[in-house]
Amino acid sequence: MACAFAAATAGAGPVEVYRTGPEFCPHDRRDSEPALTESQIIERARALLPRDFCRNAFAAGCDADAELTYGAWRVFVRQYRIAGNRHDYLGLDHSYVVLDRVGNCLANIPGTELGGRN
């Protein structure tokens, strides 16, 4: 029965793997430090992404949107390429970084790989 379950779930899709460790998800700030602003949170979240996330052979840059919910910041970062005079996100990667009010990482979650949902 265990083998049947494993075989059934193996094709169910990708499993998210969190980015961990001091490079991607540090807890280096004291709770007594002042709360960061939205722009500081976005800057911190971008710094916790892989080095080539925002600029590589496929992406010209990345946009970030931050949302303060239940005392934590959720930052959605997505890659874009330039198409005419607009940002084109189609087929590119995204990531979520969740930070507390002073910038400690709560989670750093890479997006689903292209085609992972099909």
pLDDT per residue as tens digits for the range 21-54: 999 999 999 999 999 999 999 999 999 999 999 9
Say yes or no to pLDDT of 4 above 50.
no
| Alpha-carbon separation of residue 51 from 28, 47, 48, 61, 108 (angstroms) | 20, 8, 8, 12, 14
* Averaged pLDDT for residues 62-69: 97
Q: pLDDT over 70 for what percent of the chain?
A: 81
